[in-house]
């Protein structure tokens, strides 16, 4: 039977642009350019590599997000994924990580899966908890933060570089994995891939389709609340000198004046 | 007073510094109760240290599961302990593992979770967490609005302060769930210490980027770091090139540091690098391109070749130290 791989991806505001909050302190997703989170490209890449190695696999990408999030799905499809699921519902505005994991879990279950692949974190919220939450909700092993991953004979293995140690992990499928930006550069979509993506199926689902009540998600359903968000005052530039043979000494004088030496 | 559960992170039988910071912060919120999991023979020493830093009670649990399987055994233990203690909040260190443990625990407890707090304050509505978001360009204050707040706190959020307390040790036996043995750790290689301070704990960090040019080039960065007793950091470009280990990467997908002094050498200042260092107190830059965006952050900058500036600076520091 063919290996069913589901990749969870997020459409995020471009980190090199001007990211900000809306009036309700949710991330402003309308007034800024968005894209497929770069960290999720690594998830798509590893899913495709696992699919290629297995020879008989189907890769589905799933996103939860507003209308524009379909751009993230298109990118993943043009990289080589087979089909896509877009969960989109006005009631999702302001959903927290716990709520997102609920929606993703339902969508992944509905799609059918042997392996769920995620990026290590989103580039906007940067919490890095959705993969673990998905595993908890789906009741399957989490094999996360991997810099190397392989699937063979119904077993997933991988390397996790933690703070204190490097660990090798192993679990039976079905499982949830997340991969880091050390797992291998993501491929660029080819022209052929971009053309092919236009014909690949994208299924749209709303909360009803997933059997989720509006109260379970959105800003009102979130179990955390933001009281304030303030732009950090810009740093003021200090003294800049050009090295004309004394740069190191000038720097030493600065460090001494600041009592670092 | 309300009890605050603190998961005490340890390695090689020693309490890690961020755990002492958590205990220090927990005292602002209530009475710290330390949880020490899978410490084996080292548990007594770790418990004593937790007592020194304010833990009124220390709950220990030991089982092979903590080392043999990923994340879930610790979630099972914390869930069970939270069930008997009924804490006002649970604090965990913000590491990859810590955040995963916190999130799964929160889901099981029916609680909201906040990650990567850089400060904590007590309020009538429960703990208020300060977070630094969007590559540290915004400061956010947030609260858990449902259930027992589960909060992960970044290293260096405060400096550890001793405040001796009873530290009464209770040991518990954990009943593990079926999920606990889902992900096997088939081998573990502890990271070898460089002998330099931990990146996230260091008062001074000296970093090198693509401008360092080669693995060998890092010797000038290391020499400067050693003259200052500093940790060494690297940009992702330097890590991707294989010049320096990933464990030293500073930035969005590496470590986020907030030292007294950060010295960026041959680093351009991409947003993802800034995300890991722009909350540093003082920032010094050495870069040969006067247009490099990193200069916008500099309290002092030298436009020049790092291979000329760094050795001169290192010599000068070593001479001044006499
Ligand atoms: C999702 C994502 C996550 C990322 N995470 C991180 C992260 O965690 N950390 C990180 O650092 N990056 C990260 N990046 C990469 C980031 O975007 C930049 O590519 C990277 O930071 C560039 O590294 P650099 O400044 O060393 O190299 P460059 O941008 O190439 O800059 C090199 C600098 O060195 C200077 N230079 C060259 N030679 C010399 C010399 N002899 N003396 C003095 N100066 C010299 C040059 O003028 C230049 O300014 C991430 C990117 C993405 C998309």
H/E run at residue B309: helix B306-321
For the segment B93-120, the average pLDDT, to the nearest whole number, is 98
Choice from B268, B296, B307, B310 to test ligand 1 binding pocket (greatest atom count within 8 A of CB): B268
Contacts of B121 (CB under 8 A, 6+ apart): B28, B127, B128, B130
Instruction: Measure B172 CA to ligand 1 centroid, in angstroms.
Output: 48
Local confidence pLDDT in tens for the 261 residues of chain A = 699 999 999 999 999 888 889 888 898 887 789 999 999 999 999 999 999 999 999 999 999 999 999 999 999 999 999 999 999 999 999 999 999 999 999 999 999 999 999 999 999 999 999 999 999 999 999 999 999 999 999 999 999 999 889 999 999 999 999 999 999 999 999 999 999 999 999 999 999 999 999 999 999 999 999 999 999 998 899 999 999 999 999 999 999 999 999
Tokens of A107: 């969508």
Of B38, B8, B12, B31, which Cα lies nearest the Cα of B20? B8
For the segment B71-97, the average pLDDT, to the nearest whole number, is 97
pLDDT for position B321: 86
Q: Is the CB of A38 under 6 A from ligand 1?
A: yes
Would you tell me which CATH number, out of the four given (3.40.1410.10, 3.40.50.12160, 3.40.50.1220, 3.40.50.1980), belongs to the domain B204-321?
Answer: 3.40.50.1220
pLDDT for position B216: 97
- Are the beta carbons of A224 and B271 separated by less than 8 Å? no
Which residue has a Cα nearest atom 39 of ligand 1?
Answer: B211
Q: Is the CB of B210 under 6 A from ligand 1?
A: yes
* Residue in B with minimal Cα distance to A121: B253
Tokens of B75: 């979630």
Residue from A216, A223, A231, A233 whose CB has the most chain B CBs within 10 Å, to mutate: A223
Residue B203 is given by DSSP the state S
Which residue has a Cα nearest atom 50 of ligand 1?
Answer: B272
pLDDT for position B103: 98
Residue B10 is given by DSSP the state E
A163 touches chain B (CB under 8 A): yes
- 3-state SS of B20-44? HHHHHHHHHHCEEEEEEECCHHHHH
- 3-state SS of chain A? CCEEEEEEECEEECCCCCCCECCCCCECCCCCCEEECHHHHHHHHHHHHHHHHHCCEEEEEEEECCHHHHHHHHHHHHHCCCEEEEECCHHHCCCCHHHHHHHHHHHHHHHCCCEEEEECCCCCCCCCCHHHHHHHHHCCCEEEEEEEEEEECCEEEEEEECCCEEEEEEEECCEEEEECCCCCCCCCCCHHHHHHHCCCCEEEECHHHHCCCHHHCHHHHCCEEEEEEEECCCCCCCEEEECCCCHHHHHHHHHHHCCCC
Contact, A86 vs A202, CB < 8 A?
A: yes
Instruction: Measure B266 CA to ligand 1 centroid, in angstroms.
Output: 8
d(CA A194, CA A187): 13
- Are the beta carbons of A235 and B297 separated by less than 8 Å? yes
Contacts of A30 (CB under 8 A, 6+ apart): A22, A66
In angstroms, the Cα distances linking A114 to A4, A63, A95, A111 are 5, 18, 26, 10
B318 touches chain A (CB under 8 A): no
Tokens of B253: 């997908």
Tokens of B62: 């030991």
Cis before A46? omega within 30: no
pTM: predicted TM-score of the whole model, two decimal places? 0.96
Instruction: Measure A117 CA to ligand 1 centroid, in angstroms.
Output: 28
Instruction: Measure B294 CA to ligand 1 centroid, in angstroms.
Output: 10
Domain range annotation of chain B = 3-181, 204-321
pLDDT band at B64 (very low <50, low <70, confident <90, very high): very high
For the segment B249-273, the average pLDDT, to the nearest whole number, is 97
H/E run at residue B238: helix B236-240
A3-9 and A57-64 strand pairing? parallel
d(CA B266, CA B110): 47
Architecture of domain A3-221: 3-Layer(aba) Sandwich (3.40)
d(CA A260, CA A219): 46
A155-161 and A165-172 strand pairing? antiparallel
Q: Which residues face A226 on adjacent strands? A: B142
B281 touches chain A (CB under 8 A): no
In degrees, rounded to 5, the angle at the alpha carbon of residue B27 between the alpha carbons of residues B23 and B28 is 125
- For the stretch B102-112, what's the b/e string if a residue is b when 16 or more beta carbons lie within 10 angstroms of its beta carbon? bbbbbbbbebb
Biggest CA pair distance of chain A: 70
Domain range annotation of chain A = 3-221
Q: Which residues face A137 on adjacent strands? A: none
What CATH number has the domain spanning B3-181? 3.40.50.620
The answer, yes or no, to whether ipTM is higher than 0.95 is: yes
Nearest-neighbour CA in chain B from A129: distance (Å):
6
Nearest-neighbour CA in chain A from B273: distance (Å):
12
Instruction: Measure B308 CA to ligand 1 centroid, in angstroms.
Output: 20
Q: How many CB pairs under 8 A join A and B?
A: 269
d(CA A250, CA B3): 52
pLDDT band at B219 (very low <50, low <70, confident <90, very high): very high
* Mean pLDDT estimate for chain B: 97
Contact, A67 vs A40, CB < 8 A?
A: no
Cα A66 to the chain's mean position, in Å?
15
Contacts of A58 (CB under 8 A, 6+ apart): A2, A3, A4, A5, A51, A82, A83
Q: Is the CB of B254 under 6 A from ligand 1?
A: yes
Q: Is the CB of A14 under 6 A from ligand 1?
A: no
Q: Is the CB of B270 under 6 A from ligand 1?
A: yes
């Amino acid at each position: 039977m063919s290996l069913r791989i589901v990749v969870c991806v997020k459409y995020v505001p471009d980190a090199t642009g001007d990211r900000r909050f809306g009036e309700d302190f949710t991330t402003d997703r309308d007034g800024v350019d968005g894209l497929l989170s770069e960290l999720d490209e690594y998830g798509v890449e590893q899913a495709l590599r696992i699919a290629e190695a297995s020879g008989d696999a189907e890769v589905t990408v799933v996103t939860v997000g507003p209308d524009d999030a379909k751009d993230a799905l298109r990118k993943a499809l043009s990289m080589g994924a087979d089909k896509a699921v877009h969960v989109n519902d006005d009631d999702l505005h302001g959903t927290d990580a716990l709520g997102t994991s609920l929606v993703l879990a339902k969508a992944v279950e509905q799609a059918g899966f042997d392996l769920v692949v995620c990026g290590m974190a989103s580039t906007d919220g940067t919490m890095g908890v959705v993969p673990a939450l998905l595993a908890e909700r789906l009741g399957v092993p989490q094999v996360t933060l991997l810099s190397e991953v392989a699937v063979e004979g119904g077993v997933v293995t991988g390397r996790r570089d933690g703070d204190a140690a490097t660990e090798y992990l192993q679990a039976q499928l079905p499982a949830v994995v997340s991969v880091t930006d050390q797992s291998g550069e993501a491929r660029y979509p080819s022209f052929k891939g971009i053309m092919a993506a236009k014909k690949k199926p994208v299924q749209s689902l709303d909360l009803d389709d997933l059997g989720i009540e509006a109260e379970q998600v959105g800003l009102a359903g979130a179990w955390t609340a933001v009281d304030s968000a303030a732009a950090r005052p810009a740093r003021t530039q200090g003294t800049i000198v050009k090295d004309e043979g004394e740069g190191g000494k000038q720097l030493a004088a600065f460090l001494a004046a600041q009592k670092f030496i | 007073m309300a009890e605050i559960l603190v998961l005490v992170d340890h390695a090689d039988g020693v309490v890690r510094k961020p755990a002492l910071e958590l205990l220090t912060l927990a005292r602002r919120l209530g009475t710290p109760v330390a949880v020490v999991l899978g410490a084996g023979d080292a548990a007594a020493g770790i418990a004593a240290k937790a007592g020194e830093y304010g833990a009124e009670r220390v709950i220990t649990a030991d089982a092979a599961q903590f080392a043999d399987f990923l994340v879930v055994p610790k979630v099972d233990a914390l869930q069970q302990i939270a069930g008997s203690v009924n804490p006002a909040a649970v604090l965990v260190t913000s590491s990859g593992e810590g955040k995963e443990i916190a999130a799964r625990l929160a889901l099981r407890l029916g609680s909201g979770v906040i990650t990567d707090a850089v400060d904590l304050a007590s309020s009538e509505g429960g703990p208020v967490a300060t977070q630094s978001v969007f590559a540290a360009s915004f400061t956010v204050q947030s609260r858990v609005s449902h259930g027992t707040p589960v909060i992960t706190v970044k290293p260096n959020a405060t400096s550890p302060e001793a405040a001796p307390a009873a530290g009464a040790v209770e040991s518990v036996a954990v009943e593990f769930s079926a999920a606990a043995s889902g992900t096997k750790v088939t081998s573990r290689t502890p990271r070898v210490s460089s002998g330099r301070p931990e990146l996230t704990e260091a008062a001074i960090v000296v970093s090198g980027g693509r401008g360092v040019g080669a693995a060998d080039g890092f010797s000038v960065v290391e020499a400067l770091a050693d003259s200052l007793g500093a940790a060494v950091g690297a940009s992702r470009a330097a890590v991707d090139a294989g010049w320096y280990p990933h464990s030293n990467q500073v930035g969005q997908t590496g470590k986020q540091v907030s030292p007294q002094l950060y010295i960026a050498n041959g680093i351009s200042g991409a947003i993802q690098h800034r995300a890991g260092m722009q909350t540093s107190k003082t920032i010094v830059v050495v870069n040969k391109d006067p247009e490099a965006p990193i200069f916008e952050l500099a309290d002092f900058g030298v436009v020049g070749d790092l291979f000329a500036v760094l050795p001169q600076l290192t010599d000068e520091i070593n001479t001044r130290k006499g």
